[in-house]
Amino acid sequence: MSREALDTVADAVGECRRCALGSTRDKLVFGSGDPDARLMLIGEAPGRSEDRVGRPFVGAAGKLLDELLASIGLDRADVYIANVLKCRPPGNRDPRPEEIEACAPFLQGQVDAVDPAIVVTLGNFATRFMLGTREPIGRLRGRIIEAPGRRVFPVFHPAAVLYSRQKRDVLFDDFERLRVELGILASARRG
Ligand code: URA
């Protein structure tokens, strides 16, 4: 079911030209992973490597994301990963409001199709998307926040911690908390 629903969203995206990024991107990065995942992760936008390959988180931040997932006993095949924007902003600048707006129905469609138990938002843009708040990630990170119909778990974006040992430790600690939350949800489901 989820796979068909995701395919419908991918068909709707098509060779998107709804915003200016459609003419500067190389590859559109739709998303990847298990359509039935209990955990969905949302990043910001493709970077240079993702734009070349067409898959999310394949560069340095992706390597760290793999380590974070491994630290809680998961890998890419167990989760579903998408971004707020499907196309790379030139020079890796921040996503613009009109780009986020043009892409929003597709990310929302992906979240609805996968229907995960927890959505991990990586950084400010994904957190803002899911929670509609301007509250900075530093204040929201590391705990479940209940949004209408969704459990959201904001954390620092992996790219934002690459050069800070202290923030990197915080991100690993938050993933440990995430592991506990997933365990709690799994045992509630069983019993
Ligand atoms: N950063 C993101 O937010 N998404 C990617 O896919 C890669 C880097």
pLDDT tens figures, 62-95? 999 999 999 999 999 999 999 999 999 999 999 9
Share of the chain above pLDDT 70, in %: 99
* Ligand 1 nearest-atom number relative to CA 43: 3
- pLDDT for 187 equals 87
Using the structure block, give the residue that is written with the tokens 């050069």: 163
Query: Any residues with CB less than 8 A from the CB of 88 and at least 6 apart, and which?
Result: 21, 24, 25, 26, 29, 45, 46, 47, 48, 50, 51
Res 188: pLDDT: 87
Long-range contacts of 58-64 (CB under 8 A, 24+ apart): 60/159, 60/162, 61/157, 61/158, 61/159, 61/162, 62/158, 64/158, 64/161, 64/162, 64/168
Atom of ligand 1 nearest to the CA of 81: 6
Measuring from each residue's beta carbon to the nearest atom of ligand 1, which residues come in under 6 Å? 43-47, 50, 56-57, 61, 83, 159
Low-confidence ranges of the chain (pLDDT < 70): 1
CA of 46 to the centre of ligand 1 (A): 5
Q: Among positive and negative, which fits the CA dihedral 96, 97, 102, 108? A: positive
The pLDDT, as a whole number, for residue 1 is 65
Ligand 1 centroid, distance to 50 Cα (angstroms): 7
